[in-house]
Every structure is written in C-alpha cells, then in structure tokens.
C-alpha cells in the first residue's frame, strides 16, 4: 500500500512536471572538473555530480561524458519536460553567442558552440555565460550580495575571474566579454602570464598559481632565511601549503600573502573607482587563507582609493559553499 | 508694422512657452571657468556665456555671479516658465545628492549643495552630475558615440575625467561616484599626484599637467640632448608647447607623447577588460596632439588587451566642439 502511494505520488509529480516545468540544471565547466546539478526554483540543489573536463579530448567526447551522467538525473525528475532550461558557466563563455571563445585555460581551441551542442543533445534550451559571471549571479540570488544592486565578485582560484553587477544586472558589455579583471595589468612589465603571454596581470599574482610562484620567488631571493616552506618539494608548494606554513608563523609564508594582498587590494581600488560598488565579494581557493589575505588586501584597497570612495566598500568573503555556488550561479542564468 | 509683427511673435512665443517649457540650461562648472548656455530640444545652443569659477571665494559669490549673467538670458527666452530644467556638470558632482563632494580641483571644501542653491536662486529644478559624465551624455546624444550603448569617454584636460556608458546608461554606481578613472593606479609607487597624495594614478601622467611634468623630467634626465623645449622658460612649458615642438620633429617632445600614450593605452586596455565597450572617445586639450598621442595610445591598448578584446574597440577623438560639448552634455542630463 505504501509502495503504491509512493508510485502514485511520483506519477502525479511527473504529470504535473510535464505541463509545468519547475527545475533547472546548473553546469559549471571549470578547467579541471565540470560540476552539474538539478536545482529547484528556491535554489535547492536536489541532485549533483561531476565529471573531469578533459578538454584535451574533442568537445564531442565531453558532451557524451556529460550525457552519460546527467541524462539519468534528468530522467529521474520526469524527463526534459520537467526542466525550464540549462544554465552553464564556462571560461570565456559568451552569453550573446552561446560559444566558448578562445579560452586560455581550456585545450579546445578557437570557438566552441557548446550551448548549441548541449541543447541538441538534451533537448533542453541551454544558456551560457562566463563562469565568473555565473558566480556573481549566484552571490546576488543566494549569497553575500543578496539584495545588492552594485557589487563585484572576484574568484581567486587557479585563475582570477570576475563578475560585475551594476544596477542589478551582470555587465556583459558590447560583445559579452566584459569583466575579465584577472587580465587587467597591475604591474607594468611585471610577471609573465604563461598562457596569454601578457606581463603583470592580476591573475599572474592573485591566483593560486600566482601565490605558488611568489612563494618560489621569495624562497629563491632569500636563500638564507629559514622557512617551513623549504620542507616541501617544489611540486608540493601550493597556496594551501603556504597557508599551512603561515598559520604556523612562518615569515616568508606570511609575506607571500602580504605581497599578494597588496597587489590585489590595489587592483580592487581601481575596480571600485570604475563602478563604485557597494561590496566586493571574494571567492575561491585563496580565500581559505582568511585574514592572511584579507587584511593586506583591505589595507591596500583603502590606501589606493580616491577620497570619495574611502571606507565605503564592504570587502567580504563569499558565504556560499564553493561547489554549490558554481551550480547555483549557472542555474540562476535560467531563473 | 514689422515691429508689431515681431512683438506679436515674441508674445505668442512667451505665451506658448509658459504652458509648454521647451528649453534647457546646460552649465559646465570647471576648475577655472564655468560655461553655460541655453539649449533647445534638438541640441542647438541658442545663447551662451561664461564666468570665472573663482572657487577661492564662497559659493554664494559664485551663485551671484552666475545669476548676474544667466538671469538676463533666461528672461530673454520668456522667463523660468520656458525652461524644463537646468543640467549641470561639475567635478565630483553627485547625481544622487546634487552636491559637489570633496572636489580635489576646487577650493570649496567638503560638501557643497550646489544643485539646491541654483534651484533656489533661479526657481528652475537643477540636476547635477560629474562633469565627465555630462560629457559622456553629450557624446551619446550628439557626438562620436551617437547611437552606441557601450562606450567610455576620457577627458584629457587639466585632469583626467571619465564617463562610462553601459547599456545606454551612464554608470553612477552605488553612491553616484562611479567612473573616477583618472584616479586609477597605473604605475605602482609612481609619480605623486599633488592634490590627492596618491602615487602613480593615470591623471598624474595623462593630463596636460602630467605631460608638462613628463617633459620637465625628460629634459632633466637627458641634460645633453638638444631640444627645442629648452627654448621655453619652465613656466611656458605646457602640453601645447610640447605639441608645437613635436610637430617640428623634436625627439624629446615626441618621446613625451610616446610615454604618455603608452601609459594611457595600458590604462584603456584595463578599462576595456572591465566593461567591454564598443568605443573609447578621447576628449579635451591633449587630443590636440592628434596622432602624436593617438598612435602610441592605440598601440599600447591593443598590446595589453586579452585576446578576446583585440582589434574590436574603436579609439576615437570626440568630434564635438569642446565648449559646446560641455554645455550640451550638462543639458542632456535634463532631456
């Protein structure tokens, strides 16, 4: 009898879904992994999974892998009729075209019509945007920027991404690519950014990769200074190990975050003087360094702000769980 | 008989004006002079004049001086009933509050409720914005950015101002002060900006003042290099004299613009990566240097752009007459 009730409930659910789609799919395509989940209209993630992005292989392979995992999840919710749409965030994802275009951190070259390919495969309309813009939408709908009309999110991960919100709308600009703040130049003729060839961009310093590089530089430039960082093999040095050493009071490790924060804060000051946001929300792996990164960043930001902006802008960490935020943000593109 | 006809026409005009206001007043308050004019709905300047800004004296003195010249112009058009409103651009003018707030280039200190004071004095509703934002509105309605939805104007005058337009709207941000791009840092620990105390901001290099300072530095650092610039007394050296010498083939003068353009272009690249505009419109005294400033600026901008933005953004000079543009821009605030 109970089994029959459950069966009827599911049947009613499926029938009501077909006439009234109520779920969305959020896909966050990252350089290493692609996370996806089924989200209801209130922002609850009902189901989620992930696959390696494997962009060395052709895009068709990626679509197949995604289909193999995501289609059963769709079927379980009543099939494609139950879905309003698919929202996707990806590096260099263009809202206007639905293409990933010349993404530096992916191996697929040139222009990849990924929204079209996913729409075709699943029979569900797919919208694409830049991964960092999706994160900004997630922050606005569910996170630290809830209710704000003017804010900027900065993702401090393998790279540095950004989403800019002005008047409650994510800025996409004339061609869909606005908000590539990780590529803005912060040090004239500064550190080489290996995948783009530019010099002195924010991403070369304020990403996990940048922190690692700063640590290696500091160790090399101070060969006689004792440091816990020297206990690690070179390949083991990451922003996490630098953090672990900073917590233990290691001077070089603390200086690495101090240096990173100074550069990041100066860049944030420039962004504030552009769009005058209410808040800047920091997000991604590097934020695990807590006050080691927050304190110098805030100090440098305030120091470099023009008078009218001083002591006005909230600088906060995202309060969304990282894996959830990416999926929620992508799904928000449809809602 | 002719005189009577003219009289009747004026009478009809005045009567129709009183029920259907059709003019606006544009006021451009600059550090040195304040220009104002009467503008019709099609953007024709029907009458205009100017007074010295004299911000060493109290604001009440300024209002009196403005009234002495502007009130007769208003009366000639049929009195305040003929006017839709007054639009005003001023340094650090805040659209939200109608106040000039902590303007570095004016002697009035703190917060000056100028829109309120002018509304009171003339009995015509006055709206205020930043002078550079007013210029952007003028470019959008009547100038090089006509019909564009995404562009940035950069004023290269005594200072460096900017107006950012996204989705056809001038960006004012959370507190009305968005778009202070002249104060963004382009050289870490660079040249001192005397009135703000900051180091390495764009205004310290790409303003008329900055060009003069670069010329002085270059002359000092190359004491044996022959240069036409040495024929001028130090106080005669301006961006105009540097231009005159560059035209005559003077190497140091040409290098001054090359250096200025490199810094400006790098800054513009950063702005493009923020809002992805269709065009950047350059405006103000320094643009008289023509290709001496345009060529290195464009080269540096393209060089520093992330791949997806390259060869997409128009970099152009404003085609509006400078004095007209300021008045038209301010008036556009009301229209």
pLDDT digits (tens, 9 = 90+) for B104-114: 779 998 999 99
Q: Residue A206's pLDDT is what?
A: 98
ipTM of the modeled complex: 0.87
Interface A–B counts its CB contacts (< 8 A) at: 132
Q: Residue B322's pLDDT is what?
A: 74
- A50, A176: one domain: no
Distance from CA of B1 to the nearest CA of A (A): 59
Distance from CA of B332 to the nearest CA of A (A): 21
Considering only CB atoms, A174 lies closest to which of B184, B269, B278, namely B278
**Residues of B with Cβ-Cβ distance to A169 under 8 angstroms:** 167
Tell me, yes or no, whether A304 lies in a domain: yes
Given a cut of 70, is residue B17 above it in pLDDT? no
Cβ-in-10-Å burial (0-12, 13-18, 19+) of B88 comes to buried
Could you give phi then psi for residue B314, rounded to 5 degrees? -75, 130
Tell me, yes or no, whether A86 lies in a domain: yes
Q: Residue A2's pLDDT is what?
A: 52
Pairwise CB contact (< 8 Å): B308 & A196: no
- A109, A257: one domain: no
- A110, A232: one domain: no
**Prediction pTM value:** 0.87
Indicate the number of domains in chain B.
Answer: 2
- The token duo for B132 is 């550079």
- B194, B47: one domain: no
Q: Does B266 touch chain A (CB under 8 A)?
A: yes
Q: Residue B103's pLDDT is what?
A: 86
- B169, B65: one domain: no
Considering only CB atoms, B181 lies closest to which of A269, A273, A309, namely A273
Pairwise CB contact (< 8 Å): A307 & B178: no
pLDDT in tens, chain A (335 residues): 455 555 554 544 544 445 588 999 999 998 889 999 999 988 899 999 999 999 999 999 999 999 999 999 999 999 999 999 999 999 889 989 999 998 877 999 899 999 999 999 999 999 999 888 998 999 999 899 999 999 999 999 888 999 999 999 999 999 888 999 999 999 999 999 998 999 999 999 999 999 999 999 999 999 999 999 999 999 999 999 999 999 999 999 999 999 999 999 999 999 999 999 999 999 988 999 999 999 999 999 999 999 989 999 999 999 888 778 889 999 998 88
Q: Out of A209-223, A301-315, B18-32, B287-301, which region has the weakest mean confidence (pLDDT)?
A: B18-32
Q: Do the Cβ atoms of A119 and A257 come closer than 8 Å?
A: no
Q: What is the CATH number of the domain that holds A73?
A: 3.30.420.40
- B80, B208: one domain: no
Could you give phi then psi for residue A310, rounded to 5 degrees? -65, 140
Q: Does A323 touch chain B (CB under 8 A)?
A: no
Parent domain of B51: 2-137+325-332
Tell me, yes or no, whether A181 lies in a domain: yes
Pairwise CB contact (< 8 Å): B175 & A277: no
Q: Residue A132's pLDDT is what?
A: 87
Q: Residue A102's pLDDT is what?
A: 87
Tell me, yes or no, whether B252 lies in a domain: yes
Question: Chain B interface, mutation test: which of A106, A152, A270, A313, most B Cβ atoms within 10 Å?
Answer: A270
Distance from CA of A179 to the nearest CA of B (A): 5
- A231, A107: one domain: no
Top pLDDT among B5 and B78 is at B78
Neighbours of B87 (CB within 10 A): 28
- A152, A124: one domain: no
Tell me, yes or no, whether A269 lies in a domain: yes
Q: Do the Cβ atoms of A205 and A260 come closer than 8 Å?
A: yes
Q: Residue A54's pLDDT is what?
A: 93
- A60, A83: one domain: yes
Confidence of residue B132 (pLDDT cuts 50, 70, 90): confident
- A158, A127: one domain: no
Q: Does A187 touch chain B (CB under 8 A)?
A: yes
- B284, B185: one domain: yes
Residue of B113, B88, B84, B70 lying closest to B29 (CA atoms): B88
- A27, A133: one domain: yes
Tell me, yes or no, whether B142 lies in a domain: no
Tell me, yes or no, whether B230 lies in a domain: yes
**Residues of A with Cβ-Cβ distance to B177 under 8 angstroms:** 276, 308-309
Residue of B nearest to A167 (CA): B173
**Which tens digits make up the pLDDT trace of B241-267?**
999 999 999 999 999 999 999 999 999
Tell me, yes or no, whether A206 lies in a domain: yes
Residues pairing with B156 in the sheet:
B160
Q: Residue A1's pLDDT is what?
A: 44
């Amino acid at each position: 009898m109970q089994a029959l009730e459950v069966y009827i409930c599911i049947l009613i659910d499926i029938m009501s879904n077909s006439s009234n789609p109520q779920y969305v799919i959020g896909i966050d395509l990252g350089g290493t992994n692609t996370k996806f989940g089924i989200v209801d209209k209130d922002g609850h993630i009902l189901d989620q999974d992930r696959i390696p992005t494997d962009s060395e292989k052709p895009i068709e392979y990626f679509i197949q892998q995604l289909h193999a995992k995501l289609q059963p999840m769709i079927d379980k919710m009543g099939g494609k009729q139950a879905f309003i749409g698919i929202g996707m965030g990806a590096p260099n994802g263009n809202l206007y075209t639905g293409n990933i275009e010349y993404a530096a951190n992916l191996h697929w070259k040139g222009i990849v019509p990924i929204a079209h390919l996913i729409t075709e495969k699943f029979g569900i309309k797919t919208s694409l945007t830049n991964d960092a813009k999706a994160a900004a939408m997630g922050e606005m709908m569910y996170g630290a920027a809830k209710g704000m009309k003017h804010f900027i999110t900065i993702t401090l991960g393998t790279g540095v991404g950004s989403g800019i919100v002005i008047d409650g709308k994510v800025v996409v600009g004339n061609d869909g690519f606005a908000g590539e703040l990780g590529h803005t130049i912060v040090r004239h003729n500064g550190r080489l950014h290996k995948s783009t060839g530019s010099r002195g961009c924010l991403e070369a310093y304020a990403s996990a990769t940048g922190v690692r590089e700063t640590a290696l530089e500091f160790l090399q430039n101070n060969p006689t200074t004792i440091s816990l960082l020297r206990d690690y093999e070179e390949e083991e040095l990451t922003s996490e190990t630098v953090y672990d050493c900073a917590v233990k009071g290691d001077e070089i490790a603390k200086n690495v975050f101090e240096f990173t924060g100074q550069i990041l804060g100066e860049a944030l000051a420039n962004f504030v003087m552009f769009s005058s946001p209410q808040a800047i929300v920091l997000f991604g792996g590097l934020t695990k360094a807590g006050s080691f990164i927050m304190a110098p960043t805030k100090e440098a930001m305030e120091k470099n702000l023009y008078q009218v902006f001083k002591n006005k802008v909230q600088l906060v960490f995202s309060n969304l769980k990282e894996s959830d935020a990416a999926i929620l943000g992508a799904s928000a593109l449809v809602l």
